């Protein structure tokens, strides 16, 4: 039984670590971007899936983190790690502010509010072209001066592992319990002594800071930042990734992002039709598997395992 | 010597638009009291509880907890001051387990630990005969079990005073008797209660002091016998 779990796990770990040596440059780039999306989708799942705050402005924080780091590095000569960290901190602060302003909003109202925030930020990045480079983009110093994407892949993998580890630790702590209590019933959570305002704002700040972390990584990987990274289209993609995987589970959202990014690229030859397929998959997930396809898959495997297990018959 | 006042409302008023839901209510509950709060639908009972537990802000008047002003405190701040409550319509964390439902208030208490909160939660679950269900999601409990879990969750705050909003609504007579015994046991341990319900028979069995509200105002406050003979109560409450 133990071997049945250890062997596939070890094989998967070897595959993940050897990935840059098993694929060509194109698929390695896809791998790096998939890791970026995985951090974003997991942090969105932390906010939407764990605390029930359906934000549509998460990619705005990705762009805020990316532009903050890019501008500090390019214009002020700040070292990349410092610029990157400043982006994370700024995202946490602005995230707390947005979380606080949106306290009285729920569901579609919060979603619309965060869409508006996202668009305002995007338009600022477009309009302030003397600072941000506008739609033409902002050139950003790369993290590594290598021809291969392998260092980015391993850094992305490490960031995902650390981010996911921190998020899982958080969800298993008392804060995580309070987040879920707020998601389930705010009034009851308050009656139970949970400081609802504090934890709603905290959830926004923490999730936004992870988005900023991913943004800094993205900016210094891609090398040129455009305001489109914070667009509603990009946000829709992240939401779809998390929902298809399973928005209430950090792991499911992560795997959902990795698989969806791979799927979108694998179907690239079908042009726009791949997005239609992607949309159909999202619709089917929402209709038939509200906890995500992975959760549905896990349940199916569990049922199959139970069905195949020999029945315990009394002698 | 009279027991100290745990919670007090002075001139409490709440308006919803043009409607005055509670109008200048004065009410004090002393340590160790078990008070029944009754009145026709729309008389302002739940609104009163909502204000006395921080879920609604009064339009006028003051609230004191242990003689200290509690105006403007949030629901969680009332909970920290050991003011607990249950809701008219049971409010649980539906997709969390029974034990997790109990742990939320346990861990929200300052300086609490997981081990201590878990032990306390299991003790209360045992008391409520819900121990065997601790790993079940709350939404899978029966209506009666949900009522008990909500009571258990309130107990996790180690409340000095508990406001129970319609604890007997929708429960079968056997469970109703069980809940009465539970409340009496908890009262015997020194906790104070304000019980709102329309089940007058159960209320009469449970409490010594009855407060009657009608049209947002307190119209009677006394022993069960005194209130039963009060003509204004008969007129306003029973329509006699």
Reported as a single tens digit per residue, the pLDDT across A152-190 is 999 999 999 999 999 999 999 999 999 999 999 999 999
Q: Does A166 touch chain B (CB under 8 A)?
A: no
Q: Which residue segment(s) compose the domain that A145 sits in?
A: 26-230
The CATH number of whichever domain residue B178 belongs to comes to: 3.40.50.300
Give which of B49, B93, B154 to mutate to test A binding, by max A Cβ within 10 Å: B93
Quote the number of domains for chain B. 2
Kindly state the tokens that stand for A123. 């338009």
The answer on B99 and B23 residing in a single domain is no
Q: Which residue segment(s) compose the domain that B68 sits in?
A: 1-82+161-240
Q: What distance in Å separates residue B102's CA from the closest CA in chain A?
A: 9
Q: How far is CA B45 from CA A135, B41, B155, in A?
A: 60, 8, 22
Q: For the whole model, what pTM was predicted?
A: 0.89
Q: Does B55 touch chain A (CB under 8 A)?
A: yes
The answer on B147 and B108 residing in a single domain is yes
User: Mean pLDDT score of chain A, rounded to an integer?
Assistant: 90
Q: Does A59 touch chain B (CB under 8 A)?
A: no
Residue A18 falls within a domain, yes or no?
no
Give which of A181, A184, A193 to mutate to test B binding, by max B Cβ within 10 Å: A193
The answer on B175 and B62 residing in a single domain is yes
The answer on B167 and B56 residing in a single domain is yes
Contact B96 A196 (CB under 8 A): no
Q: Show the low-confidence residues of chain A (pLDDT under 70).
A: 1-4, 302, 304-315
Q: Tally C-beta pairs within 8 A across A and B.
A: 79
Summarize pLDDT for B123-162 with one digit per residue, the tens: 999 999 999 999 999 999 998 899 999 999 999 999 999 9
Chosen domain end from B103, B137, B158:
B158
Residue A92 falls within a domain, yes or no?
yes
Q: Which of A260, A281, A246 is nearest to A45 (CA)?
A: A246
Residue A155 falls within a domain, yes or no?
yes
Sign of CA dihedral B42, B46, B52, B55: negative
Residues on chain B touching A194 (C-beta within 8 angstroms)? 76, 104-105, 108
Kindly state the tokens that stand for B77. 């701040």
Summarize pLDDT for A191-210 with one digit per residue, the tens: 999 999 999 999 999 999 99
Residue A63 falls within a domain, yes or no?
yes
DSSP B137: B
Q: Supply the ipTM of this predicted assembly.
A: 0.90
For B117, the 3-state DSSP assignment is helix
Residue A13 falls within a domain, yes or no?
no
- Tell the burial category of A21 from Cβ atoms under 10 Å away from its Cβ (0-12, 13-18, 19+): exposed
Contact B80 A193 (CB under 8 A): yes
Quote the number of domains for chain A. 1
Q: Which of A314, A123, A143, A107 is nearest to A216 (CA)?
A: A143
Contact B84 A191 (CB under 8 A): yes
Q: Tell the residue number behind the tokens 């532009």, with chain if given.
A: A67
- Looking at residue B157, its pLDDT comes to 93
User: Count of alpha carbons within 13 Å of A92, Cβ hemisphere only?
Assistant: 11
Kindly state the tokens that stand for B25. 């209510």
3-state percent breakdown (helix, strand, coil) of chain B, nearest 5: 40, 25, 35
Summarize pLDDT for A14-27 with one digit per residue, the tens: 999 999 999 999 99
Q: Does B76 touch chain A (CB under 8 A)?
A: yes
Q: Tell the residue number behind the tokens 């006395």, with chain if given.
A: B52
Q: What distance in Å separates residue A223's CA from the closest CA in chain B?
A: 44
Cβ-based neighbours of B194, under 8 Å, separated by 6 or more:
B29, B35, B36, B37, B49, B52, B161, B162, B163, B164
Residue A79 falls within a domain, yes or no?
yes
B69-97 average pLDDT score: 93
Contact B104 A192 (CB under 8 A): yes
Q: Which of A67, A41, A44 is nearest to A207 (CA)?
A: A44
Contact B95 A189 (CB under 8 A): no
Q: Does A190 touch chain B (CB under 8 A)?
A: yes
Summarize pLDDT for B152-209 with one digit per residue, the tens: 999 999 999 999 999 988 888 888 899 999 999 999 999 999 999 888 888 988 998 9
The answer on B73 and B166 residing in a single domain is yes
Confidence tier at B97 by pLDDT (50, 70, 90): very high
Q: Does A287 touch chain B (CB under 8 A)?
A: no
Residue B87 falls within a domain, yes or no?
no
- Looking at residue A151, its pLDDT comes to 95
The answer on B47 and B10 residing in a single domain is yes
């Amino acid at each position: 039984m133990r071997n049945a779990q250890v062997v596939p796990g070890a094989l998967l770990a070897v595959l993940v670590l050897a990935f840059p040596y098993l694929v060509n440059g194109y698929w390695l780039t896809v791998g790096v971007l998939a890791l970026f999306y995985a951090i974003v989708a997991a942090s969105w799942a932390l906010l939407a899936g764990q605390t029930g705050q359906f934000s549509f402005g998460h990619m705005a924080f990705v762009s805020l983190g990316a532009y903050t780091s890019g501008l500090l590095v390019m214009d002020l000569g700040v070292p990349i790690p410092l610029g990157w960290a400043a982006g994370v901190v700024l995202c946490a602060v602005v995230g707390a502010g947005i979380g606080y302003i949106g306290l009285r909003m729920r569901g579609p109202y919060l979603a619309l509010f965060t869409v508006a925030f996202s668009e305002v930020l995007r338009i600022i990045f477009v309009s302030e072209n003397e600072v941000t480079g506008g739609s033409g983009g902002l050139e950003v110093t790369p993290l590594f001066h290598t021809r291969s994407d392998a260092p980015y892949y391993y850094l992305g993998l490490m960031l995902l592992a650390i981010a996911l580890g921190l998020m899982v630790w958080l969800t298993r702590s008392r804060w995580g319990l309070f987040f879920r209590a707020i998601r389930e019933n705010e009034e009851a959570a308050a009656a139970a002594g949970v400081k609802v305002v504090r934890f709603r704002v905290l959830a926004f700040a923490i999730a936004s800071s992870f988005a900023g972390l991913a943004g800094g990584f993205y900016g210094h990987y891609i090398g040129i930042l455009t305001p489109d990274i914070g667009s509603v289209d990009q946000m829709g993609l992240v939401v779809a990734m998390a929902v298809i995987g399973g928005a209430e589970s950090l792991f499911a959202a992560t795997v959902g992002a990795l698989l969806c990014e791979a799927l979108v690229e694998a179907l690239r030859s079908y042009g726009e039709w791949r997005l239609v397929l992607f949309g159909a998959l999202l619709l089917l997930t929402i209709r038939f598997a509200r906890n995500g396809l992975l959760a549905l898959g896990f349940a199916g495997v569990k049922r199959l395992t139970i069905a195949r297990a020999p029945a315990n018959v009394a002698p | 010597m009279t027991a100290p006042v745990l919670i007090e409302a002075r001139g409490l008023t709440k308006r919803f638009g043009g409607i005055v839901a509670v109008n200048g209510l004065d009410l004090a509950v002393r340590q160790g009291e078990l008070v029944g709060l009754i009145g026709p639908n729309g008389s302002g009972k739940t609104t009163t509880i909502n204000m006395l537990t921080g879920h609604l802000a009064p339009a006028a008047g003051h609230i004191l907890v242990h003689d200290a002003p509690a105006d403007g405190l949030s629901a969680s701040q009332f909970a920290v001051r050991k003011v607990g409550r249950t809701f008219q319509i049971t409010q649980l964390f539906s997709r969390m387990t029974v034990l997790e439902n109990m742990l939320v208030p346990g861990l929200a208490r300052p300086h609490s630990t997981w081990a201590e909160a878990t032990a306390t939660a299991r003790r209360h679950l045992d008391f409520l005969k819900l121990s065997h269900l601790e790993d079940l999601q709350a939404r899978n409990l029966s209506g009666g079990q949900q009522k008990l879990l909500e009571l258990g969750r309130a107990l996790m705050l180690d409340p000095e005073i508990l406001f129970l909003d319609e604890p007997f609504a929708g429960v079968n007579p056997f469970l109703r008797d069980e809940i009465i015994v539970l409340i009496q046991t908890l009262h015997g341990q020194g906790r104070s209660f304000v019980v709102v319900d329309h089940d007058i028979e159960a209320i009469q069995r449970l409490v010594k002091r009855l407060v009657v509200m009608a049209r947002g105002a307190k119209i009677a406050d006394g022993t069960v016998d005194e209130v039963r003979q009060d003509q204004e109560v008969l007129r306003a409450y029973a329509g006699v």
